[in-house]
Structure 1
Amino acid sequence: MSEPTARPPASGAKDQVARLLTLVPYLHARESVRLDEAAAALGVSPQQLLKDLKVLLMCGLPGGYPDDLIDVDLDALEDPGGDGVIRISNADYLSRPMRLTPTEASAVVVALRALRNGASPDTRQVVDRALAKLEAAAAEAVSARIDPGRDGADVDTALLARRLQEATTAGRQVRLTYFVPARDEESERVVDPRGVVTGQGWSYLDAYCHSAEAPRLFRLDRISSAEVLDSATTTDPEPPRDLSEGLFARSSSTTVATLRLAAPARWVVDYYPVEEVRALGEGPDAAWEVDLLVADERWLTRLLLRLAPHARLVRPEEFTDSFLAEATRTLGLYEQLT
């Protein structure tokens, strides 16, 4: 008579979670099943299955109150007079498929698409299968036009991020209508999208702007419309920039500008990311010299006009001419009014 084959040890938190995820649907599919029968079907020993059932007692819905947790009849399994039948209750929600809100589904889709960009071919296949299922479910949910309530803006932003990421993957240009706070106006421009990124709590589209002829970041909540065009992108594809260290990073399209700020203009340091701050004296009225990265000369000109007469451009000197020309034009407008 041959010896029974020993089962491999079933230990480890990861293995136990996998068994619990299998155990509950298995029990729900059967009205009653004995402990030894379930253990054989699941490939574990009755002792291990009993340990898993005791862990299941501490699982349930958030809150942790008795009515939130799964109940297991341990008396039937441990008492000498018990019948050895597994009985669980208060776990009906586990037999239902998980439902995601439009916000949750869209957020997961955006995260998976970001993961896909840097994934290996094997991982990308898995991500693509998950994306196909999620996008089909999300499209069905959106088509129902359920009122999202207070989360409506989040839903719109998440869906916009999803469309922009799809345009990036397809290599299609996008026509944006974008609100520019500095000019208090909306502008329309065609961009080559490079991806959706997050920085300082906001979501941005990183794209090459054909109007500015340079890469730009567009905050998603300031995009009033985005039309994916049939035309293909014309610039070389590049990965979206990393915003983990801030919105501004040194690149071939940025210039370090040095400003000298009097005390009334030192608020710039708190409002904009700066590279370095140097105090030019002591005391509360001392001037500061600051270095900051500039990607658009027009932005720097508008900033200097706001700060005048409490700020002066130290370098680069080539920005001085454009600032003086704009300042002269602005003064001319005031003279016409008077």
Structure 2
Amino acid sequence: MTPVSTRLVRLLNMVPYFQANPRITRAEAAADLGVSAKQLEEDLNQLWMCGLPGYFPGDLIDFEFSGDTIEVTFSAGIDRPLKLTSPEATGLLVALRALADIPGVVDPQAARSAIAKIAAAAGTVGHEASGSVAAVDEPAPIESRAAAAVRTAVQYKHALSIDYYSASHDTLTSRIVDPIRVLLIGGQSYLEAWSREAEGVRLFRFDRIVDATELGEPAAPPEPVLQAPPDTSLFDGDPALPSAKVRVAPSASWMFEYYPMRELHELPDGSCEAVMTYASEDWMTRLVLGFGSAVQVVEPQSLAQRVRDAAAAALESYQAVSS
């Protein structure tokens, strides 16, 4: 059950919200306010019976409902949203700064503008003894053209053409996708989209989207896909691909952020054993060799032997040249 204080804060902010968004639909309002359609109706009915002492019709908060839209016709003096306390402003600023640095989630310029306005508005509150809030002129992070195209395509529900680098396949492919949403997984942002080529939902990591172009057509992922919750198991790698068990030293632990790996367990010396999918033994051999002793193949033995043979051949060639 929602605490009374939480609902009261929401109710006090709803009237200014509807004044700032006249003729907004119920579905849009519920999404913006973070409540269900049923809760929104209950809140509206509650507000309809609130007003100034005396509670005559001309003193009560009043709305006009036209079709599915809502508009405030009398606010009973509730014209401004509640002010943020210093802790609330600080928490909001921290969250906005974090979001502004994650590609594809928000418009960096809009986020920095909001940060400046919140910090300035909270400045008079923030000079108290604890948790001061000050307006800081912070430059917005530079957003790549590809990230901006993906973000706007998700916002306006447009189809996308993307060039995507697959680390496990070591290939750059072009495909047309229908965006669904942006997800945050392990500190990285991903585009969840319907791949027309694969006829299925796929996750595309933002920093591997080399280029993106917003198409002049609406995104049309299948309806069941839109209704389904995010399927983050897609991040675990393609089960049709071969996989290898590797031992990763602490110095190479950044691999977990970049390659499709699933950590198994940590060893006493700080290294980890993990399973990694790959498309070809040639690519996997080159990758492991590039890490030297920091990454060792445990299984399969055929791949481990191939890495040993390649390392031995490289050493022999080096010795021949140096002599």
Q: Give the TM-score of the pair, scaled to structure 2.
A: 0.42
Which is bigger in relative contact order (C-alpha 8 A, separation at least 6)? 2
Is the radius of gyration larger for structure 1 or structure 2? 1
TM-score, length-scaled by structure 1: 0.41
